[in-house]
Structure 1
Amino acid sequence: MTLVTDLTSRKAATEAPLIDPLAERWSPRAFDPEAVVESEQLRTILEAARWAPSANNSQPWRFIVARRGTAAFASLHGAMAGFNKEWADSAAVLIVNIAETVDAEGRPRPWARYDLGQAVAHLTVQAQHEGLHTHQMGGFDAQAIHEAFGLDERHEVVSITTIGALGDVDRLSDVLREREVAPRQRKPLADFVTVGE
């Protein structure tokens, strides 16, 4: 396996041309622990999520935004599991991605998770366009997050997004560094696309 040494550009070898923020997006673990995401930049990233499509325009996404150095950030970092806890404290921002699975009248929102996923994808692409990087995480204690932020049963913590600037890969453990510099790979389109005739 050939390892990548220049992590500043890991543009994907796509089968069709993509816009740069999609082709250049990847999920680093080495974030710069001194970098700051400016307020206007963060607002723009969240605005991209705001304009994602959703079923019946229900917009069932909710976000908890925590900057490095705050009590909220420390609480989220404490709720992380395994490897995530090892590296995520260097990110500039943590965003908890929450699906409102039941509306205010008690009616189920069956597409809430899907809609949240679209909002997070929009957020991710906008962050890449802004010159930042993101990494999505699923390893965390959802109940601890519920308790820390007073969430009710209508709200499901689905994932956490880290946002920041690239950092020094040599600060990672050997296991994480190996993952960080490994070549990017995707299945070919033919493996998962069926075109009806």
Structure 2
Amino acid sequence: MDFLQLVQARQSDRSYDKERSVESEKLERILEAARLAPSACNAQPWRFVVITDKELAQKAGKAAAGLGMNKFAKDAPVHILVVEESANITSLLGGKVKGKHFPLIDIGITAAHIALAAEAEGLGSCILGWFDEKGMKQLAGIPASKRLLLDIVIGYPAKEKRKKMRKPKEKVISYNRY
């Protein structure tokens, strides 16, 4: 599959086959894609806590299902928790000068790598930012001082692909001027 086909195929899956686990070889390739993602000043300001234990994954899914959101997360066999780590001094100083927090951008890039790598492996994924951060950190033994930014759920989709809805090109792309 070429890259554009991969991007067109990838969607946020919100239904997973409860009975089918993710093969470790596929998961390792997805994590390698995440590890190799670019970052400002090569800071690599992330740590991935990978939950594959069935019971723990169900508990993580419950922690992701607050206020009626993300109920499907309890069926996902894998949760990749993305923790923000300290950036290197170059990235931090550059961020101060430019008024940007580069680790957030970097983590967005690595999350995209994870989602696209999962699609390339025939798996579904959904990037979650809405979850019980404190509860999830306790489940996974993440220090209270750390920020848990994302829970990326992965598994075999239980539903067919749906039509991708995006704004037309004219609304999001311009050349040479805004």
Tell me the TM-score normalized by structure 1: 0.74
Residue 150 of structure 1 and its aligned partner are, at CA, apart by 3.2
Q: What's the CA shift for 1:33?
A: 0.3
Aligned to 1:14: none
The match for 1:193 among 164, 173, 177 is: 173
Q: Offset of 1:146 from its aligned partner?
A: 2.9
1:52 aligns to what SS in structure 2? coil
Task: Mark the CA change 1:32 to 1:86 in structure 2 (over 3 Å): closer, same or farther.
Answer: same
Q: Distance in 1 between matches of 2:7 and 2:54?
A: 30
Aligned length: 166
| Shift of residue 113, structure 1, vs aligned partner | 1.1
Say which is worse superposed, 143-152 or 125-134, in terms of deviation. 143-152
CA contact (8 A) 2:60 2:74 kept: no
Distance 1:19 1:194, change over 3 A: closer
Mapping 1:1-197, distance limit 5 Å: 19-71=4-56, 73-80=57-64, 81-101=66-86, 110-148=101-139, 149-153=141-145, 155-167=146-158, 183-196=163-176
Identity of aligned residues (%): 30
Residue in 1 aligned with 2:98? none
2:61/2:76 contact within 8 Å kept: no
Amino acid at match of 2:123: L
Please provide the CA RMSD for this pair.
2.5
| Unaligned runs of at least 5 residues, structure 1 | 1-16, 170-179
Cα shift at 1:168: 5.1
Bigger mean CA deviation after superposition, 138-147 or 159-168: 138-147
Matched residue, 1:13: none
Give, in whole Å, the separation in 1 of the partners of 2:70 and 2:171: 34
SS of 1:37's equivalent in the other structure is: coil
Taking the aligned partners of 1:166 and 1:135, their CA distance within structure 2 comes to 10
With the length of structure 2 as denominator, give the TM-score of the two structures: 0.81
CA distance in 2, matches of 1:139, 1:128: 22
State the shift of 1:89 in Å: 1.4
